[in-house]
Structure 1
Amino acid sequence: MNTNRLSKTLAKALNDQMTKEAHAAQIYLSYAAWADDQGYAGVANFLFRHAHEERNHMMKFLEYILERGAKVIVTAIPAPPSDPSSINNCFEKVFQHEVDNTNAVYNIVNLAHEERDWATFNFMQWFVKEQLEEETLAQTLMDKIKIAGGENAKSDALYALDKDLEKTPDDAKTAEKATEEKP
């Protein structure tokens, strides 16, 4: 008996996103190794944690595809892009990657809506919220680096940023949680 409840199009999109999440983990892993090699242990720790988070996202997609009775297709992932040229460039790349990932998530949401696959539409809402947090976090880091001098940040500012990232929580404060008392 066929138990698949995903269209071929949605199954492919979800499998593709699973691969994107695996690729994201490799990107974060690569950038973390680069940061550690440059002496930025705090930045590296932050990026290593995000590599782990991306692998968890990959597993969420894998498990969902299985739950819906479709076939999981594990494919090769591309190599990570070249190493960043600076801490500023690293977080610019992180931000752009997160924006690209958000667009991929939105495409699946749109597809699920068009196909009236409400289970997948509902499943993807967690990722919509997660991407909002990821983009906000990356933007906040870019703002901190900008204040520190951006591409021209001095070593003492980068040292302080590195120490700050060692302790920075992985989730961002988003607008939906804002109140008049706690903007």
Structure 2
Amino acid sequence: MTINKKIYENRRIQSIGKKTAKLLVEQIAHELYNHNLYRTFANYFATKGLNKLEEYYVNRANEELEHHTWIVDRLNYAGVLYAYPVVPKVDVEIPDEYSTFVLTLDKEIETTQLIYGIVNSAKEENDWETFNWLQDTLVSEQTEEEHISRKFLKVAEQDTDWIAKEEYILDAYNEATAEGE
């Protein structure tokens, strides 16, 4: 089998395909936006005196920061030179407690779709190293994120007070994340 000389030239510079690298850099901004959004939700709950939901959203925000770091580390490992992307300002109205859970699930579904796009790009570029890293790292993590968000939206829909809901949500979240460690 003969390898195209262009492949050698490209991989000497970086081991991630150009399109996939571009999408991963864009994903950095998305993960940081998610972090900022969840910190905004934490602030909302702090001002409402719902401290367990504040803690829940602080923890969710920290996970987004961790995902950002995973991507940065992967890009650095692969020798990708990039400029840090601009993170859009969080401009969201929070009419009530319930809406934060709807917005969280929607944001996680959007994140899943973006990650699937990166996986498809890696596959198209025959970048199996990144493809496997994405499957093992971001896809498996994102599956959990979306599942947790869907579960807690159902809790938020229940006809009970927010003190009881926040207790359950934080406990269930801590249990789920402890299992994943």
TM-score (norm 1): 0.84
Aligned partners of 1:27 and 1:80 also within 8 Å: yes
> 3-state SS of the aligned residue for 2:173?
coil
Identity between Structure 1 and Structure 2 (%): 23
| 1:181 corresponding residue in structure 2 | none
1:165 to 153, 156, 169: 169
| 2:4 corresponding residue in structure 1 | none
| 2:5 corresponding residue in structure 1 | none
The answer on 1:128 being equivalent to 2:139 is yes
Deviation at 1:75, TM superposition (A): 2.0
| 1:60 corresponding residue in structure 2 | 70
2:15 to 5, 9, 14: 5
User: What is the RMSD of the two structures over their aligned residues, measured on CA atoms?
Assistant: 1.8
Deviation at 1:110, TM superposition (A): 0.6
- Cα pair distance change 1:26/1:119, threshold 3 Å: same
C-alpha distance after superposition, 1:150-177 (max 9, x if no partner): xxxx5xx21111222333334759xxxx
Number of equivalences: 166
Q: C-alpha distance in 2, partners of 1:163/1:170?
A: 11
Gaps of 5+ in 2: 1-8
Q: C-alpha distance in 2, partners of 1:81/1:57?
A: 22
Deviation at 1:100, TM superposition (A): 0.2
TM-score (norm 2): 0.85
The answer on 1:88 being equivalent to 2:92 is no
Q: C-alpha distance in 2, partners of 1:72/1:21?
A: 16
The answer on 1:73 being equivalent to 2:88 is no
Q: C-alpha distance in 1, partners of 2:87/2:175?
A: 26
- Cα pair distance change 1:83/1:41, threshold 3 Å: farther
